[in-house]
Structure 1
Amino acid sequence: RAPTPHLPHDFLIVKGIEPSMRWRSFCDELLDLADDYEVSMVVTLGALLADSPHSRPIVVTGSGAHPDVASRLGVEISRYEGPTGIIGVLQDATYKRGIDAVSLWASVPHYVSTPPCPKASLALVNALEDFLEISIAQGDLPERSSSWEKQVDQLASEDLEVGEYVKQLEKSKDESDFPTMTGDAIAREVERYLRRNPEF
């Protein structure tokens, strides 16, 4: 439990590895704990592999399993159909208990899929800050993110095939994202800066 005296609520943080079986029991235990602490919202964080270049900002998407929750919290309605992981099961179980549930997902470049990916972690922290309108201490995460990107740059420069593939992804990403900075994106960056620097 993370007390936050400057906010109207505390945070209950759960970190772990996805269990390989007994998902319903696992979710029931987590949600019993959530009930004990009177949790009003569950936010899950995860990563998925994507055709995205490591040299561009990591895209984070948010989704809610049920239309009313997604609409109220300003995220997309999850339209995924198919095999699911523990996040999908937990999100559904959370909704059935009457607790709001949202998932934030970072798109990790599939050609460097071995964890950890500090750049994705940093993108998730930033997205969580924006979603909850809070400031989260980042420690050395920005430095580790930068170091990770430089290591992947080095890998791409040493392997001609990987380097060419990354260039194709960059070109595709740049063409689809132009123009990248909308008014909303600029406003989010300013709000995030002001939350981290309250003296301004």
Structure 2
Amino acid sequence: MNMEVKKLQAKCLIIAWQGEFGLLSERVLAEMEKQDTISVVFELEIEKYFSLSGIAVREDLANFPAGTLKYLSGRQLLIFKGSIPEFNQYDYISKLIKAAADYQANEIICLGSVGAMISHTAPHRLMAVVNSDIHKYSLENAGVECNMNFDTPPNQKVDINSFVIWQAGKCGINAMSLWQVLPFYLQTSGDAAAELLLLEFLRDRFELEIDLDEISQRAQYQSDQIQNLRQTNAQVENGLSMLEGGLSLDSVVRNQLSDQISRLFDNC
């Protein structure tokens, strides 16, 4: 008697690139992994995509390129954390999109973050670049800003997320680049409130059972600690007040603010 083996399915493939600002996407995927059962689908052969002659160093540790696709069985999600390829980019991205198609994923989300001269007290915003109007409408109803496109300006290198979105669209898969702008002074500690917002979005979009109490407490703790610091440190108060007033900071004030707040969370 022949028995058909039921193939695993995924609601979505979520992609996080190593080393992005504040490690936002990596922290979010780590939180999701912590609360699920994980199986490795594949690890990319890095020698096909990286030269390995100039390994990046971060915090005195060698940051070797990597690329691992995992399946979260409880939430039926594919998650990929990897380095942006130096070459053979088309083949690299094709492997990810093929995996999404094999698992019958309806969607691909590339997570991202950038640093800017803003205050942590400003409202956090989710912004997206999408490859279909239907996708755009569903996101706007969820409060995501979608007033951008993924066309690369002439004579500029194609952004990796734009490449994923374009290639996924050719394969008939809805895809988006979902990102946030973070305060420049939270690069080292990370922005817990931004992580919470992203996790809430993923929870609601895919109807996930996920405990957000710990990250909620961490976001509140981070906010409280910065508030306490600005009450006792005139330099921090001055820098944050300028940002909240829409003013730019010179390099001296900017560096002072970054140093003071980074030290605040050194042991966290």
Structure 2 residue 177 is the aligned partner of structure 1 residue 103: yes
Change (3 A) 1:136 1:112: same
Task: Supply the distance in 2 between the matched residues of 1:106 and 1:69 (Cα, whole angstroms).
Answer: 18
Secondary structure in structure 1 of the residue aligned to 2:78: coil
Task: Supply the distance in 1 between the matched residues of 2:87 and 2:192 (Cα, whole angstroms).
Answer: 28
Give the letter for the 1:95 counterpart. G
Q: Any conservation in 1 of the 2:108–2:175 contact (CA below 8 Å)?
A: yes
* 4+ runs deviating over 6 angstroms: none
Give the letter for the 2:73 counterpart. P
Aligned to 1:198: none
Change (3 A) 1:79 1:159: farther
Give the letter for the 1:112 counterpart. L
Structure 2 residue 214 is the aligned partner of structure 1 residue 148: no
Give the deviation of 1:104 after TM superposition: 1.9
Q: Which has the higher strand share?
A: 2
Give TM-score scaled by structure 2 length: 0.52
Give the deviation of 1:158 after TM superposition: 6.2
Give the deviation of 1:77 after TM superposition: 4.5
Change (3 A) 1:4 1:169: same
Aligned to 2:130: 64
Aligned to 1:47: 113
Pairing of 1:153-168 with structure 2 (within 5 A): 153=227, 156=230, 160-168=234-242
Give the letter for the 1:79 counterpart. N
Task: Supply the distance in 1 between the matched residues of 2:138 and 2:215 (Cα, whole angstroms).
Answer: 31
Give TM-score scaled by structure 1 length: 0.67
Secondary structure in structure 2 of the residue aligned to 1:15: strand
| The one of 164, 182, 185 aligned to 1:90 | 164
Structure 2 residue 184 is the aligned partner of structure 1 residue 118: no
Secondary structure in structure 2 of the residue aligned to 1:53: coil
What do you get for the CA RMSD once the two structures are aligned? 3.1
Give the deviation of 1:171 after TM superposition: 4.2
Task: Supply the distance in 2 between the matched residues of 1:133 and 1:84 (Cα, whole angstroms).
Answer: 33
Secondary structure in structure 1 of the residue aligned to 2:113: strand
Task: Supply the distance in 2 between the matched residues of 1:160 and 1:16 (Cα, whole angstroms).
Answer: 41
Change (3 A) 1:46 1:135: farther
Give the fraction of aligned pairs with identical amino acids, expressed as a percent.
24
Aligned to 1:36: 102
Secondary structure in structure 1 of the residue aligned to 2:79: coil
Task: Supply the distance in 2 between the matched residues of 1:18 and 1:117 (Cα, whole angstroms).
Answer: 22
Q: Any conservation in 2 of the 1:65–1:77 contact (CA below 8 Å)?
A: no
| The one of 143, 146, 149 aligned to 1:79 | 149
Instruction: Count how many residue pairs are aligned between Structure 1 and Structure 2.
Output: 169
Higher-Rg member (1/2): 2
Give the letter for the 2:112 counterpart. G
Give the deviation of 1:28 after TM superposition: 0.8
| The one of 6, 15, 25 aligned to 2:91 | 25
Q: Which sections of structure 1, spanning at least 5 residues, go unmatched?
A: 173-200
Give the letter for the 1:54 counterpart. H
Task: Supply the distance in 1 between the matched residues of 2:232 and 2:164 (Cα, whole angstroms).
Answer: 42
Aligned to 1:127: 201
Q: Which moved more, 1:46-55 or 1:132-141?
A: 132-141
Q: Which moved more, 1:82-91 or 1:65-74?
A: 65-74
